[in-house]
Chains A and B, each alone.
Chain A
Amino acid sequence: MSHSFRLAASAVAILCNSLAQAGNLTIESWRVDDKGLWEELLLPAFAKAHPGITVKFSPTSPPEYNSALNARLTAGTAGDLITCRPFDVSLDLFKKGQLDALNGTPGLKNFPESAQVAWQTDDGKSTYCVPMASVIHGFFYNKKVFAELGLKPPETEADFYGVMDKIKAAGKVAPLALGTADQWETNQIVFTSIGANHWKGEEGRKALISAKAKFTDPAFVSTWEAMAKWAPYLPKGYQAQTYGDSQNLFGTGRAAIYPAGSWDISYFEQNSKVEFGAFKPPVQKAGDPCFISDHTDIAMGVNSKSPNKADAKVFLEWLSSKEFADLYTNKVTGFFSLSNHKIDVKNPVAKEMISWRNQCKSTIRLNAQIMSRGTPSMENELWNVSSQVINLKMAPKEAAAQIQTGFAKWYQPAK
């Protein structure tokens, strides 16, 4: 089995590689949805400023990206520019010598220290990817449904359930468009988003890393408890509902609220006529300070085996320019540039989401830094237990215990 896989992977990689020559750059990415935008907008803009360099955008679908990239990097057939996942996944590539250190690259000056952390070694000495954008998590709501029922976007958790009760009682549309078939949404869009208010953002996250807090503490267990309360508001058969199904439900106006990542804005703008707004994750009690998951999500680095590093550096320089920041923020809607450049966000929903940065404190996804690098992989474990909790197949306390046990197994401070 393994050999046929490896053969197929290297055959594909060799085919792709034979197209690469000097003066040409290939970008590895997981943003399949943005292929059109890259080819029609971003790359032509780059070509205008740098006519000698031809760039090809060659994405792999998100679930396969890490595995496929790994195979290609190992076989020496990956593209010149590598789109970097944040924290541990890219750190692993850097430690294996597959990504070049970018220390001293002039463009990095355009990014605040906090944006670079996701692509630095733990001691902060080496940076290996140029930050591109962050994504913000929250909820979208169908404006028409809310207006018809006289509802306001909820501020507190009690409001949130109240609003959903009314939508459910009206019986026309599903209150909440979410399924657990694909599993990742329950962690990346739900758990680490609504939980930030429970564990007070960075405070809780850093306490876990320094082992001052445990997943079995009330702040974390109560997040899973809140998620378990969602089950009655989900569409019938949500256990077999995929991410695409949820998008379709909300996009066709058959659901009132959609737990969202900001990247979904461009999907709905392109594929649906539903008028929607956004509200931030509700706080536990009125007057509580709010926290949002404002996740440094995407960056770009140089393949250490690239035959064309000089041109790759030129491209990264352009990536840190104001021109790119503006294009990326306003054309690839829902991704917010991490640079210091002042950018006007034009899309109203995106503008609403980015305004939360001024009202609330930002944190990144709970497990992104350090916590996901061991075995068992906390990311995969969180997908699983969070889905089980929403499926009502696992008690919140069990979920917490399982994650804590897995974490303590390999993380010395947490033992």
Chain B
Amino acid sequence: MQQGFSWRVLVFITPALLIYGLFSAYPLLDTLHLGLYTADETGVRSFSGLGNYATILSDPQWSASFWNAMLNNIKFFGVHMLVQNPIGLVLAALLSLKDVRFAAAYRTVFFLPTLLSVVIVGFVWQLILSPLWGVSERLLTVVGLGDWFAPWLGLESSALVTVSLMSVWQFVGVPMMLIYAALIAIPDDIIEAALVEGASPWRIFWQIRLPLILPTLGLVTILTFVANFNAFDLIYTVKGALAGPNYSTDLLGTLFYRTFFGYQSQVASPTMGAAVATLMFLVILVGVAAYFLVVQRRLQRFAL
């Protein structure tokens, strides 16, 4: 085929390029740009270079809230990696076994919370965990663990983990579905061959199935990373924009919200907010880049 400029390619690419450029690339570049400005009290903007970043990273109050949000965000991501994705993997492995009764029903049930609005999930869990009207204390008492109950959402020590687990409950269906799809794509003859060779189901899982789905696990990791560092809505719904108690549930998303839009008497600062958004973008960019450069390249792919 002749190489060269093709009008057809241009015609097919243009619509998508326009939409992407207008609604994704342009706002992103504009945000990067806005972060370099500062505004006085009459709202007039002037160029300040990296001034906003210097403030966020060196001012004692700003840097304390930024690093607090960053650390919380890392913990939030940690809970998802340690709880959500392993559970997703186990569920997918169980569902992909042969002859599981009601497999389709389970699959639907596990995936269902993902379809719910975050507002509903937040509201329902707040009610369940409420020390006044919630069922959790009574349920714990029934099994003799009543003393273990605490107002988890209100304690500085447990609020972040509690909110993280609510998010895990909601989104565990996503890794489950992705891993499930990868597992059932493994051809039966490979598994059968292993069976004939006398491999135990345990060994088949660890040495045949798991290596074959590693690329999918990588994908799940990176999706979790991006979603977690963009998280905002659940915290806002459950704990409000101040992300209490004592900012223990503050994520980069809620910090950004307060900075960009203002909160109560905190005056909105779009320029400072854009700087926070840019830092979030950089964190995600570095994370994704590191994944692609370091992990993705080393993953072996098997032609099935």
Contacts and interface: CB of A to CB of B under 8 A. Distances in A.
A52 interface: no
Contacts of A95: 41-43
B264 A237 contact: no
Contacts of B244: 180-181, 183, 383-384, 387
B147 to A, nearest CB: 12
Interface stretch (B7-15, B98-106, B273-281): B273-281
B150 A237 contact: yes
B129 A372 contact: no
B31 A2 contact: yes
Interface stretch (B72-80, B85-93, B152-160, B178-186): B152-160
Contact of B262 (A70, A235, A384, A391): A70
Contact of B242 (A85, A240, A376, A380): A380
Interface stretch (B22-30, B110-118, B212-220, B286-294): B22-30
B154 A238 contact: yes
Given A3-B24, A183-B244, A240 B152 contact: yes
Interface residues of B, number: 51
A183 B240 contact: yes
Contact of B132 (A2, A245, A375, A384): A245
A237 B245 contact: no
B46 interface: no
B211 to A, nearest CB: 36
Interface in B186-206: none
Interface in B249-304: 253, 256-258, 260-268, 270, 273-274, 277, 280
Given A1-B230, A183-B242, A393 B156 contact: yes
Contacts of B273: 2
The listed residue with most A CB atoms (<10 A of its CB), out of B27, B129, B151, B270, is: B151
Contacts of A388: 245-246
A96 interface: yes
A85 B262 CA distance: 14
A67 interface: yes
B161 interface: no
Interface in B110-132: 126, 129-132
B55 to A, nearest CB: 9
Interface in A219-246: 235-242, 245
A278 to B, nearest CB: 24
A393 B246 contact: yes
Interface of A: 1-3, 5-7, 63, 66-68, 70-71, 74, 85, 88-89, 92, 95-97, 179-184, 235-242, 245, 248-249, 367, 372-373, 375-380, 383-384, 387-388, 391, 393-394, 406, 409
16 contacts: A1-B256, A5-B260, A63-B240, A66-B268, A70-B261, A70-B268, A95-B41, A95-B42, A97-B42, A239-B155, A373-B265, A377-B265, A380-B263, A387-B246, A391-B156, A409-B61
Interface of B: 23-24, 27-28, 30-31, 41-43, 61, 126, 129-133, 150-156, 230, 232, 239-242, 244-247, 253, 256-258, 260-268, 270, 273-274, 277, 280
